[in-house]
Every structure is written in structure tokens, then in C-alpha cells.
């Protein structure tokens, strides 16, 4: 059995231009995004292990916010998740897999969580 290291940013909210219905297009809507990244793992992490032996958690948040192209309307939230995955793969060769969960907050009527989860392995 091998070790694995997962970094996560959970329940980050960000407004994104997305949707296919007339009431969704032309204005950003709030998404709740959770990102988990599986990284190449070291054999040991000691108290003095350098930061560059892991990944900055803020890179995950950046991929779901500032790295999304401004003014681009994503018809599907699957495309938003795809863009986040690809951004993280390009950022760091140590990223082996990415899981992105997106919940569309604007369409919930009774607090239900409506959305998708995309898991992608490095190709």
C-alpha cells in the first residue's frame, strides 16, 4: 500500500458566469467549490520540512477564482470544474489527481445541494 497526500480547500464561494437558462445568463451566480488535490508524497515529513515539499493551499483557491477567465460564460459547471483541474495540473507537475465539487447556490429551493463532482487523473 502506498501513501498519498491530499490538499483541500472546502466550501469556497465564488461568483462565476455560468448557466444555460435565461435567468442565469449575463450575470454571475454564486458557486460553492471544494477542491481536493492528490500530490506526490515524500517518504517523510519532519518538523523542518520545507514548504516547497508540499503545495500552497492558496493555489487551489486561485484556480477557482482569479485563474477563471474574466468575462467568459461557462454554459456548464462541468466546464468550470474542468478549467480548475487543468489550471492545477499546469501549475504543478506533482499534482497527480484533482477532484472538484461544485454546488450551484442560486437554484437551491430548500437548502439542497445541487451540483457536480469531477475527478480527473493526470493524463
Q: What's the fold here for domain 5-121?
A: GTP Cyclohydrolase I, domain 2 (3.30.1130)
Q: What are 58-99's pLDDT values in tens digits?
A: 999 999 999 999 999 999 999 999 999 999 999 999 999 999
Quickly state the pLDDT bin for 43 (edges 50, 70, 90).
Answer: confident
Query: What was the pLDDT predicted at 117?
Result: 98
Question: How much is the average pLDDT of 28-52?
Answer: 92
Query: What was the pLDDT predicted at 1?
Result: 62
* Confidence (pTM): 0.92
At 63, phi and psi to the nearest 5? -65, -25
Query: What was the pLDDT predicted at 62?
Result: 95
Establish how many alpha carbons lie within 13 A of residue 42's alpha carbon, considering only the half-sphere containing its beta carbon. 10
Q: At which residue does the C-alpha cell 454564486 appear?
A: 30
| 96 sits in which H/E element | strand 95-104
What residues does each domain of the chain span? 5-121
DSSP assignment of 21-64: STTTTTS-EEEEEEEEEEE---S---TT--GGGS--HHHHHHHT
Amino acid at each position: 500500500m502506498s501513501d498519498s497526500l491530499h490538499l483541500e480547500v472546502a466550501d469556497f464561494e465564488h461568483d462565476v458566469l455560468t448557466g444555460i437558462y435565461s435567468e442565469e445568463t449575463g450575470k454571475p451566480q454564486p458557486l460553492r467549490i471544494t477542491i481536493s488535490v492528490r500530490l506526490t508524497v515524500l517518504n517523510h515529513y519532519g518538523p523542518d520540512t520545507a514548504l516547497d515539499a508540499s503545495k500552497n493551499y492558496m493555489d487551489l483557491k486561485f484556480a477557482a477564482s482569479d485563474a477563471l477567465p474574466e468575462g467568459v460564460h461557462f454554459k456548464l459547471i462541468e466546464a468550470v470544474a474542468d478549467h480548475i483541474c487543468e489550471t492545477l495540473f499546469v501549475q504543478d507537475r506533482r499534482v497527480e489527481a484533482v477532484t472538484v465539487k461544485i454546488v450551484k447556490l442560486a437554484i437551491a429551493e430548500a437548502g439542497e445541494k445541487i451540483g457536480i463532482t469531477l475527478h480527473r487523473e493526470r493524463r
